[in-house]
A and B are shown apart, each in its own frame.
Chain A
Amino acid sequence: EAGVAQSPRYKIIEKRQSVAFWCNPISGHATLYWYQQILGQGPKLLIQFQNNGVVDDSQLPKDRFSAERLKGVDSTLKIQPAKLEDSAVYLCASSLGPGSNTGELFFGEGSRLTVL
């Protein structure tokens, strides 16, 4: 079974430019998460989707970050304009969703963003 796919793996941009990250979760997984992991820190939840609806975006900097999950499948996270402090790895994860036994999160390989 295919895992969580993310692209691009690496992106270097200058501040004030824009960038988009794509995630394709495991087939049948209802819940999709975007995390930001700054070097040396734990993942920070940015936004969580249940099917194609947002259920938590409390820590998403909405003035510059946006995300969507079309048709409840793949998702895109956009940053515009980027700031130096956005340099991080952006992790996408998916799970079967509420009601599943463990709710285990399956992670993609991440997208590493460097803002110069």
Chain B
Amino acid sequence: AQKITQTQPGMFVQEKEAVTLDCTYDTSDQSYGLFWYKQPSSGEMIFLIYQGSYDEQNATEGRYSLNFQKARKSANLVISASQLGDSAMYFCAMRLKTSYDKVIFGPGTSLSVIP
């Protein structure tokens, strides 16, 4: 079964500190991708970062990096130097390339940045 698990319903981090949001996934497909999206209280879905299953290097986008451990089926998001504007829901999602790019989402983690 294809599934995304995010075990941290809520997280707190001090401003300017780094934080890791956990994501594990389950799929028998060999070709897939992992996304992270941010959803502020306004409701918009903001793309943060993407990692393909065959990418050898961990993806990075500014303050965001994806710690991809294929053997463990984990794709954790690391946010460095947290800012107050990072307070939001964060969703891990999986792209199933062998299923017409079906994308399934995890339950999300609520991140609160404390000044």
Contacts and interface: CB of A to CB of B under 8 A. Distances in A.
A73 interface: no
B95 A103 contact: yes
A14 interface: no
Interface string A48-92: 101000011000000000000000000000000000000001010
B114 interface: no
Contact of B33 (A41, A45, A55, A103): A103
Give the bracket for the number of chain B residues in contact with chain A: 20 to 34
Contacts, number: 64
B44 A56 contact: no
Given A102-B50, A109-B44, A41 B108 contact: yes
Interface residues of A, number: 26
Q: Which DSSP category, helix, strand, loop or mixed, fits chain A's interface?
A: strand
A56 B100 contact: yes
Interface of A: 31, 33, 35, 41-45, 48, 50, 55-56, 89, 91, 93, 95, 97-98, 102-107, 109-110
